[in-house]
Amino acid sequence: MSNSEINLKILKLFFNFKIKPSDFINIYKRNKDIELTADYFSNKENKNLKLFDKDKYHSAQICKNFNSIIKYLYKNNVSVFNISQKEYPELLKEIYFPPPLLFCKGSSAIKNKNLKIAIVGTRNCSDYGKEVAAYLSRQLSKIGFTIVSGMAVGIDKIAHEEAIKESGGSIGVLGTGIDIEYPYESKHLYKEIIGNGSLITEFLPGTPPLKNNFPSRNRIISGISIGVIVIEAGEKSGAIITAKSAIRENREVFAVPGNIFSDKSKGCHNLIKTGAKLTESVDDILEELANYIKNPSYAKSINFNEMANNGSFKLNYSGDNIFKHELGKKENAAVNNNEGLKNFPDEDYAKVYNCLGYKEKSLEEIMVISGLGIKKVLQIISFFQLNNIAKEKNFNNFVRGN
């Protein structure tokens, strides 16, 4: 059976409220075979399976009928991924209760290999919160993160808006069916995000915004991310729930401190007290994520190529590519050699690039790490500086540019 046939089968199961998604996952986790699991429940259905209570989790009564759902999915280019598919986010598969099916509109962000990080916070945020959200979202996007959030107003909205301006794009996780645009204030965002990002939900099309669905939505936000940044959150806000599920799933939690007199920062401060990373800058985040970033399979995403290709670095220099000429000559070698290096005139550029981080590195350190001589390092650094890939932070010390 093809994946789409399997998905159709599972979709039908859920639509008829014959099985609980949690039961489905339990069985799947045991046999690790999606087809087998789907068949198992289909057979059960045939054996006059008892209808369970209309689960709060999947209350899609509003849907007219199954066929109209299918029609909607086709018409609006909604992809459906089951948990066994490679398009399904790897990290999400690891959580305690991953949704068996994901509905997805605009698949670029969900499919890219970028590290995902969530930015969440209160709906009625302060100006300070807005500023922080925009700043962190922008900075993280620029270095190749994809920003995940919940499409709500306030912090969520700002995080998305900044992120979709950059190459990494953004992922909006919905607490409704994929066809519902909620809240109304985020309406324009629904259209824009699909241009450079994805909307995902586990809820069947037609599922309205139900209060009880949002906490389970939050576990997906933290589930697909390697960490959650809480910018402003009251003591019992949804952002805190997201943070808590992140803790449960062993993801990193970052909290931005705020005004001690403001209720909006109480939740963040509580998180910090209980061990979340106090976050003032991107450096703080990168420090905690050092292990992920060092991991070669992830490191690929935090990579010059992605950044430069997608034009997130505005070239100071107006010519299309300062190295066009050299590129032509070395193209063949580069392609055979290493796909990831094809934008550099030679691999020395990658070596120097890999030395650069958010912590300042002196020229001497770069020379030692890259194993290159001063002449070459200076020339490459100069090139990076001209293209805003690197900048000199203090005398003789370099960081990634932005």
Tell me the closest approach of the beta carbon of residue 274 to other proteins, in angstroms.
32
Q: Which stretch binds other proteins (CB under 8 A): 37-45, 116-124, 238-246, 360-368?
A: 360-368
Measured between alpha carbons, how far is residue 137 from residues 4, 42, 134, 194, 240 in Å?
35, 44, 5, 17, 19
Minimum distance from residue 382 beta carbon to other proteins (Å) = 5
Q: Give the H or E element holding residue 135.
A: helix 127-142
**Least distance CB 349 / other proteins (angstroms):** 11
- Quick one: 314 exposed, middle or buried, by C-beta within 10 A (0-12, 13-18, 19+)? exposed
What's the CA gap between 161 and 169, in Å, rounded? Answer: 9
Bridge-based pairing of strands 361-362 and 390-394 is unpaired
Residue 170: phi, psi to the nearest 5? -145, 155
> Residue 242 phi/psi, 5° resolution?
-60, -45
Q: What is the CA radius of gyration of the chain?
A: 23
Judged by beta carbon, residue 33 or residue 283, the one nearer other proteins is 283
- Are 130 and 153 within 8 A, CB to CB? no
Contact range with other proteins by CB under 8 A, out of 43-51, 213-221, 253-261, 317-325: 317-325
CA-wise closest residue to 271 among 323, 305, 228, 314: 228
Q: How far is the CB of 263 from other proteins (least distance, A)?
A: 34
The nearer residue to other proteins, 16 or 362, going by C-beta atoms, is: 362
Least separation in angstroms between residue 1's CB and other proteins is 56
Pick 296 or 319: Cβ nearer other proteins: 319
Residues near other proteins (CB under 8 A), total: 31
Q: Which is nearer to other proteins, 84 or 397 (CB)?
A: 397
Q: Smallest distance from the beta carbon of 279 to other proteins, in angstroms?
A: 22
What phi, psi does 186 have (nearest 5°)?
-90, 10
Map the footprint of other proteins across residues 319-338, applying CB under 8 A: 319, 322-326
82-89, long-range: CB < 8 A, 24+ apart: 82/3, 82/6, 82/7, 82/10, 82/34, 83/25, 83/28, 83/34, 84/3, 84/28, 84/33, 84/34, 85/3, 87/111, 89/116, 89/223, 89/224
Given the complex with other proteins, which of 65 and 318 has the nearer CB atom?
Answer: 318
Among 45, 249, 347, 360, binds other proteins (CB under 8 A): 360
| 261 binds other proteins, rule: CB under 8 A | no
* 311 phi/psi in degrees, rounded to 5: 75, 20
Stretch that binds other proteins, among 142-150, 196-204, 257-265, 394-402 (CB under 8 A): 394-402
Token readout for 243 is 């943070």
* Least distance (Å) between residue 362 CB and other proteins: 7
Burial of 75 by CB count in 10 Å (0-12 exposed, 13-18 middle, 19+ buried)?
exposed
Comparing CB distances to other proteins, the nearer of 54 and 324 is 324
* 328 alpha-carbon distance from chain centroid: 35
Yes or no: say if 141 and 311 are a contact pair by the CB < 8 Å rule.
no
Interface mask (CB under 8 A) for other proteins, residues 362-381, using x and -? xxx--xx----xxx-xxx-x
State the minimum distance, in angstroms, from the CB of residue 384 to other proteins: 10
Question: Using CB under 8 A as the criterion, which residues of the chain lie in contact with other proteins when the complex forms?
Answer: 316-319, 322-326, 360, 362-364, 367-368, 373-375, 377-379, 381-383, 385-386, 392, 394-397
